[in-house]
Amino acid sequence: MKKFLPSLAFLIPLLVFPPSVQAHFGMIIPSLPTVTTTKEADISLTLRFWHPFANQGMNLDKPAVFTVSANGAVTDLLPAL
Protein backbone atom coordinates (compact mmCIF):
# COMPACT_ATOMS: atom_id res chain seq x y z
CA MET A 1 0.00 0.00 0.00
CA LYS A 2 2.85 2.40 0.81
CA LYS A 3 4.30 1.93 -2.70
CA PHE A 4 0.90 2.58 -4.23
CA LEU A 5 0.28 5.98 -2.58
CA PRO A 6 3.11 7.90 -4.32
CA SER A 7 1.92 6.55 -7.67
CA LEU A 8 -1.63 7.59 -6.89
CA ALA A 9 -0.47 11.03 -5.77
CA PHE A 10 1.25 11.42 -9.16
CA LEU A 11 -1.66 10.12 -11.26
CA ILE A 12 -4.52 12.08 -9.69
CA PRO A 13 -3.26 15.53 -10.85
CA LEU A 14 -2.72 14.13 -14.36
CA LEU A 15 -6.29 12.90 -14.48
CA VAL A 16 -7.78 16.07 -13.00
CA PHE A 17 -5.54 18.49 -14.96
CA PRO A 18 -4.46 16.71 -18.15
CA PRO A 19 -1.47 18.21 -19.94
CA SER A 20 -2.34 20.40 -22.92
CA VAL A 21 -1.95 18.73 -26.28
CA GLN A 22 -0.35 20.59 -29.15
CA ALA A 23 -3.00 20.39 -31.83
CA HIS A 24 -1.80 22.87 -34.41
CA PHE A 25 -0.10 21.71 -37.57
CA GLY A 26 1.67 23.45 -40.42
CA MET A 27 1.07 21.32 -43.52
CA ILE A 28 2.39 21.22 -47.08
CA ILE A 29 -0.32 19.70 -49.28
CA PRO A 30 0.64 18.61 -52.85
CA SER A 31 -1.84 18.77 -55.71
CA LEU A 32 -1.08 15.12 -56.53
CA PRO A 33 -0.53 12.30 -54.02
CA THR A 34 2.30 10.78 -56.10
CA VAL A 35 4.34 11.75 -59.14
CA THR A 36 5.14 8.80 -61.38
CA THR A 37 5.99 10.43 -64.72
CA THR A 38 7.72 13.63 -65.83
CA LYS A 39 4.39 14.74 -67.31
CA GLU A 40 2.96 14.80 -63.77
CA ALA A 41 6.06 16.44 -62.28
CA ASP A 42 4.54 19.94 -62.41
CA ILE A 43 2.61 20.05 -59.14
CA SER A 44 1.40 22.84 -56.89
CA LEU A 45 1.84 22.99 -53.12
CA THR A 46 -0.58 24.53 -50.66
CA LEU A 47 0.70 25.74 -47.29
CA ARG A 48 -1.98 25.41 -44.61
CA PHE A 49 -2.29 25.84 -40.87
CA TRP A 50 -4.62 23.23 -39.40
CA HIS A 51 -6.41 22.79 -36.12
CA PRO A 52 -7.76 19.23 -36.28
CA PHE A 53 -10.10 19.41 -33.29
CA ALA A 54 -11.91 22.39 -34.81
CA ASN A 55 -11.71 20.75 -38.26
CA GLN A 56 -10.76 24.14 -39.59
CA GLY A 57 -7.79 25.30 -41.62
CA MET A 58 -6.39 28.58 -42.84
CA ASN A 59 -3.63 29.73 -45.16
CA LEU A 60 -0.17 30.18 -43.67
CA ASP A 61 1.73 33.43 -44.01
CA LYS A 62 4.65 33.40 -46.41
CA PRO A 63 7.54 31.59 -44.69
CA ALA A 64 11.01 33.11 -44.30
CA VAL A 65 12.61 30.07 -46.00
CA PHE A 66 11.06 27.50 -48.33
CA THR A 67 13.43 25.03 -50.04
CA VAL A 68 13.52 21.53 -51.49
CA SER A 69 16.55 19.23 -51.44
CA ALA A 70 17.18 16.59 -54.11
CA ASN A 71 20.38 14.74 -55.01
CA GLY A 72 22.42 17.03 -52.78
CA ALA A 73 21.16 20.22 -54.42
CA VAL A 74 19.00 22.75 -52.56
CA THR A 75 16.47 24.78 -54.58
CA ASP A 76 14.86 27.93 -53.19
CA LEU A 77 11.09 27.77 -53.76
CA LEU A 78 10.27 31.02 -51.97
CA PRO A 79 10.01 33.10 -55.20
CA ALA A 80 7.33 30.68 -56.47
CA LEU A 81 4.98 31.38 -53.54
For residue range 46-80, list pLDDT tens digits in order. 888 887 767 777 777 888 888 888 899 999 988 88
Per-residue pLDDT of 9-31, as tens digits, reads 666 665 666 555 556 777 888 88
pTM comes to: 0.52
Secondary-structure breakdown of the chain: helix, strand, coil percentages, each rounded to the nearest 5:
25, 30, 45
Q: What pLDDT sits at residue 14?
A: 59
Q: What pLDDT sits at residue 73?
A: 93
CA distance 58 to 4: 47
Q: What pLDDT sits at residue 49?
A: 82
